[in-house]
Amino acid sequence: MVRKAAPRDCATITGSATEDIEETILVRYRVRLLDLNRHLFEVECSIENPEASQCFQMPSWIPGSYLLREFARHVVAIAAESGGAARPLEQIDKSTWCCRGAEGEVTVRAQVYALDQSVRGAWLDSSRAFFNGTCLFLMPQHRESEPVELYIEPPRHAACEDWRVATAMQPVNVDEQGFGSYRAADYDELIDHPVEIGDFESVEFEAAGVPHRLVVAGRFESDLERVATDLKQLCETQIDFFGRPPPFDRYCFLGLAVGDGYGGLEHRASSSLIFSRDDLPKPGEPGVPPDYQRFLGLASHEYFHTWHVKRTKPSAFVPYRLDRRNHTRLLWVFEGITSYYQELLLLRSGLVGTKTFLQRLGESLTRVYRTPGRLRQSLAASSFNAWDILYKPDPNNANAAVSYYGKGALVALALDLTLRTSGATEATLDDVMAELWRRHGAAGVGLPEDAFEPLAAEVAGLDLTDFFDTAVRGTDDPPLAELFAGVGIVLERRPQTGPDDRGGTPRGANGEPLTLGAAYRPRDSGLELTIVYDDGPAQRAGLAPADVLIALDRLKVNERNLRKRLQRFEPGERVTATLFRGDELLEVGLVLRPAPADTCYLRVDDAADETAAARRRAWLGD
């Protein structure tokens, strides 16, 4: 069932309003859209029976995004009152304020600057409002386990009269547009329901009998009914993967269409998505074009997280400690495996076919094989150091580190194929995930640091020690060519043919392509080097990130003509590279080399024996 949301109806999908609440609420929040042009929210936190010295703390990070963002830095004004009078409020560290001598109820009122358009932040202007709770809500210390009520005030600005509220939080008493009071079981749930406010478009659908809603803010032109139909297929496939019923009674995709952007953040009953407006299908557009595949892959990834990271999660996240880094070596398990299944479940849902799945998988492999750092940093180390490496990238990251998303997906693929081709077990990664969900996600038990590997081995009935030693704690590439052969797939590798070559297809080059050994972006005066790869021609010649290459062999280069310039030379030929380093003009000798075979594509092996073909059918379907 797919139906367009009523224009002024916001509470339809978020649940039924509750008339009589017996539970006493002692912690209340109020959100006010204070000043659209100054981008200021006003947020109140009121608590009854406060401590003699009641402290309030703003989170330093948001679950799902592993970087200390220090949301307290956006508080531009803060004050406290109690018993009808102002009370002193002392800041005792970067994110904590304490109110002493309160009489009865104490209220802390803060003004928060909001101009972060990402899925991790808060935003307020004349076009829309959006916030994550971590950006706005002070946590009253020692009261974080109590139920809370949130009141979202209707905006007082004339430009906002058609604005509505979209959130998966449980409504208590809201008007037709969704403004009013909401309920959360505790502070952890309060901050796990992002809120979109504005004149957005939305559509409702049911998946496995559970109400879902897609909300899209921003300018776009699309057929949301078609998108909802596709999301229904995808959601039901994922629900069936983990088992009915799902662990939520409503779900909301909160989307923002922009000119150029991509990202998502998972929550317990919703996800925040930001994407290019061109990623949505045009009305009447046939098939599933690559841009739309990108959107569906993003939605698939964040929806899978509803089970696999929001409920099955590392013990290090139980509970979240929002004032410090929460280190774990298991992020590859949660992000890598999710990245693998986001694609596989697009295939299983029927939204893409085998050819498209293999092409997208080839593109994923290409991204990993073009990262020399995969041979230096292990997945375990990548997970542990996410706070200071993945989320704080520098120009040398590609040489020294690897993403637990990309290589984690590669290892998840290798583990699945290892089980499918071993001949000693009928188990697959699907079975491992089912048991992982049963023991940890459904049971609400965190996953200890050393628990995933023995669980996988137990389910498979195999000794997987060598696999994990190599794939997770080591830095060697898994033997994917051999594993693919076992399921009747051929992995091919070729040189990159140009900056727009993402892999996934067998397109060839004219002659033997040469490489600078660097990534770059266009500048008005040439090409700015963004990455200089280890042991490549650019690094050997002494070039560095931020250098601006303006000529080869004293002929001007730009993004359009670089490939043709390179075709003029032979491997091993020495050419003059002219560049700016800062404001200094330099010339260096550059010895060109053949481009490495780091671009991957996959094809079905029509000559595979029946055993391999049967495994392929079991993996990819008929």
**What pLDDT, on a 0 to 100 scale, did the predictor assign at position 18?**
44
263: left (phi over 0), alpha (psi -120 to 50) or beta: left
Q: How confident is the model at residue 101 (pLDDT cuts 50, 70, 90)?
A: confident
Radius of gyration of the chain (CA): 27
Instruction: Using CA atoms of 516, 521, 523, 528 in order, give the dihedral in degrees to the nearest 10.
Output: -50
Is the per-residue pLDDT at 7 higher than 50? no
> How would residue 129 be classed by pLDDT, with cut points 50, 70 and 90?
very high
Mean pLDDT score, 414-427: 97
pLDDT score at 509: 58
CATH 1.10.390.10 domain range(s) in the chain? 315-490
**Residues of CATH 3.30.2010.30 domain(s) within the chain?**
200-285
Mean per-residue pLDDT, 534-542 = 97
Other CB atoms within 10 Å distance of the CB of residue 360: 23
In angstroms, how far is CA 24 from the centroid of its own chain?
37
How many angstroms from the chain centroid is the CA of residue 135? 18
For residue 77, report the phi and psi dihedrals to the nearest 5 degrees. -155, 145
Provide the pLDDT for residue 622.
77
pLDDT band at 278 (very low <50, low <70, confident <90, very high): very high
Q: Please report which confidence band the pLDDT of residue 351 belongs to, taking 50, 70 and 90 as the band edges.
A: very high
Judged against a pLDDT cut of 90, whether residue 190 lies above it is answered with yes
User: Is cis: bond before 247, omega within 30 of 0?
Assistant: no
Give whole-number Cα distances, 607 to 354, 358, 472, 603, 610, in Å.
17, 18, 33, 11, 9
Query: 200-285 maps to which CATH number?
Result: 3.30.2010.30
pLDDT exceeds cutoff 50 at 8: no
Quick one: fold of 1-199? Immunoglobulin-like (2.60.40)
What mean pLDDT do residues 566-576 have?
Answer: 94
pLDDT above 80 (res 142): yes
The yes-or-no verdict on residue 549 having pLDDT over 90 is yes
Average pLDDT score over residue span 123-152: 98
List where CATH 2.60.40.3650 sits in the chain: 1-199
The boundaries of every CATH 2.30.42.10 domain in the chain are 514-594
For residues 548-571, give the mean pLDDT.
Answer: 93
User: Helices 337-348 and 354-369 meet at what angle, rounded to 10?
Assistant: 160
- Pick one of 3.20.20.70, 3.10.180.10, 1.10.390.10, 1.10.760.10 as the CATH number of 315-490: 1.10.390.10
pLDDT per residue over 462-477, tens digit each? 999 999 999 999 999 9
Q: Which of 343-347, 392-396, 404-408 has the lowest mean pLDDT?
A: 392-396
The proportion of the chain whose per-residue pLDDT surpasses 90, expressed as a percent, equals 91
* Interval 37-44 mean pLDDT: 98
Q: Average pLDDT of 552-567?
A: 92
The reported pLDDT for the residue numbered 328 is 98
What DSSP string runs through 156-175? --GGGTT-EEE-SSEEEEE-
pTM flag (> 0.85): yes
Give bridge partners of residue 204 from the DSSP assignment. 3, 213
Q: What pLDDT sits at residue 15?
A: 41
Mean pLDDT of the chain: 94
Assigned CATH class of 514-594? mainly beta
Residue 103 confidence (pLDDT): 82
Q: What is the pLDDT of residue 342?
A: 98
Residue 165 has a pLDDT of 98
